[in-house]
Chain A
Amino acid sequence: MPRKLTQLVWLVVFCSAIFGISNLNAQDIPGRKAPSINMVDPGITTAIRGKAANIDLFFRISQGFHVNSNKPRSEYLIPTTLRLTAPTDIVIGVINYPAGVEKSFPFAPNDKMSVYGSQFVINFAIRPLASVMPGKYAVHGVLKYQACDDATCYPPKQIPVNFLIKVTKSTSEPQGRNPPQSPHVHR
């Protein structure tokens, strides 16, 4: 390998090491880095009208934090909840939350909490009624959560949740002419 290329490689390694050390330190101080949750883009879910389609939404929690599960162990703790608003004639079924994992703070090992750590999946079914025109539809919602690290808790927050579903005709339905509307996203 030419000498200059080797030096460049060392440069990249050195810079990465510095970046890593800086971020490692960032994890050590409570409250230094605010928590966040990101939803993994679920893509477009296809739903045949008149039939239910299953949707899984994946959420990732920023490193070093956890959020209360949907069923925290105290009435005062704020549960993670998802609220969705579907377009007319598209029915959203019961929202299924995963069970939380047990966690305790280092200074109170016997005080167990029910939390989601690193990632969690919320599942529900969506069913377009038979009257829904085929096409793409946007579903909007809000995920509400309250995050903590090993020593501190952050005020409750909410993030928007948006995804698309594509409503199609069933293959058993009589194939007629296309509807007068062109396919578009219904918001």
Chain B
Amino acid sequence: MKRDPVIFVVVALALSLMLVFAYKATGKQPKDGPTGAGKPAPEFALQSLDGKTIRLSDLRGKAVVVNFWATWCQPCRIEMPWFVELQKQYGPDGLQILGINADEDTSKEELEKFAKGMGVNYPVLLGKEEVEQAYGGIQFLPITVYVGRDGNVVDKVFGLKGRGEIEEDVKLALGQKKPATQAMK
């Protein structure tokens, strides 16, 4: 059978284009980096608004929700009341939510006022660049990392999700629910 060289070129070009776009797409994905599920959550020691130093390692044995947020981030403001409720509901089961603030030009007093206004009942920590980098960089907010009782990341969530999905991740971190892949077995 005689093959038309033009068709060959068309297919080759199409495949090349698909490869290029696939490569570009993966390159721009938000990177889980060192904080992918199953990996140990990077250690940090950050100062809270009330002046205490909070170390992630001190919370070993608890499920920890590390929520990166900023005052200018509307989706962060939407999920904050949910975190307040979840802290109340699951705190006795061993949940600790930590809000790491990513504002650059906001004073501690303003943050205190904001947190008070939102009724935040969990520690708000003053973020540091090196912690943000350790968690894969903060290109946008919110970013929430769910850490299991063993100190390993169980999920990393980019952007606002529904309250139900957040609660499912909280249960996963608490060990009250098995990951989807395990649950199917």
Residues of A within 8 A of B (CB): 4, 7-8, 10-11, 14-15, 18-19, 22, 25-26, 29-34, 74, 76-78, 105, 107-108, 111, 113, 146, 148-149, 151-156
Contacts and interface: CB of A to CB of B under 8 A. Distances in A.
Interface in B56-82: 70-79
B180 interface: no
A18 to B, nearest CB: 5
B161 interface: yes
Interface string B7-50: 10110011001100110110011100000000000000000000
Contacts of A105: 74-75, 78, 160
Contacts of B21: 18-19, 22
Query: Interface range on chain B: under 10, 10 to 19, 20 to 34, or 35 or more?
Result: 35 or more
Contacts of B71: 76
23 contacts: A7-B4, A7-B6, A7-B7, A11-B10, A11-B13, A18-B18, A18-B21, A22-B24, A26-B28, A31-B158, A76-B72, A76-B114, A105-B74, A107-B78, A107-B161, A111-B77, A151-B75, A151-B158, A151-B161, A152-B160, A153-B74, A153-B140, A154-B140
Contacts of A146: 72
A26 to B, nearest CB: 7
Which interface residue of A105, A152, A155 has the most chain B CB atoms within 10 A?
A152
